[in-house]
């Protein structure tokens, strides 16, 4: 069965530290990849997405992610976190690609706490 795995459940960082959140998926076919963020008390919102082309994608608020097909990974990075980045981060995989696949599955989420 397809699945998405996020390695870290809770990450605690100080402001200005660098961030990398891991995401691996299990599916051998075409995928589209997403990172969503959920700030406290708010809806999930899209941070960035990959569907083709350059495997390094840039999103909002200085976030970026790199798709490594051989490793089935899509890790999220930010060079310097801020207190306002405190949130829960979800990796999601669209199985089947942009034209055939309607199934979108999420990882377990990683809670990020940034200390001021």
**Residue 77 in tokens:** 């990075």
DSSP of 56-67, one letter per residue?
EEE-GGG-EEEE
Q: Determine how many CB atoms are found less than 10 A away from the CB of residue 115.
A: 11
Torsional sign, CA 10, 11, 15, 18: negative
Least distance CB 101 / another protein (angstroms): 5
Could you say whether residue 101 binds another protein (CB under 8 A)? yes
Site mask for another protein (CB under 8 A), range 30-69, x = bound: --x-x-x------xx-x--x-x------------------
Which residues here bind another protein, judged by CB under 8 A? 1, 6, 9, 32, 34, 36, 43-44, 46, 49, 51, 90, 92, 94, 96-109
């Amino acid at each position: 069965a397809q699945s998405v795995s996020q390695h870290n459940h809770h990450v605690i960082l100080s402001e200005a530290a660098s961030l990398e959140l891991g995401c691996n998926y299990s599916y051998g076919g075409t995928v589209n990849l997403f990172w969503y963020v959920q700030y406290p008390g708010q809806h999930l919102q899209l941070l960035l997405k990959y569907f083709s082309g350059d495997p390094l994608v840039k999103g909002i608020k200085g976030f970026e992610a790199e798709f490594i097909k051989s490793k089935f990974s899509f890790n999220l990075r930010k060079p310097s976190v801020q207190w306002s980045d405190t949130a829960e981060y979800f990796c999601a995989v669209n199985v089947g690609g942009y034209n055939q696949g309607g199934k979108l599955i999420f990882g377990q989420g990683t809670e990020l706490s940034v200390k001021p």
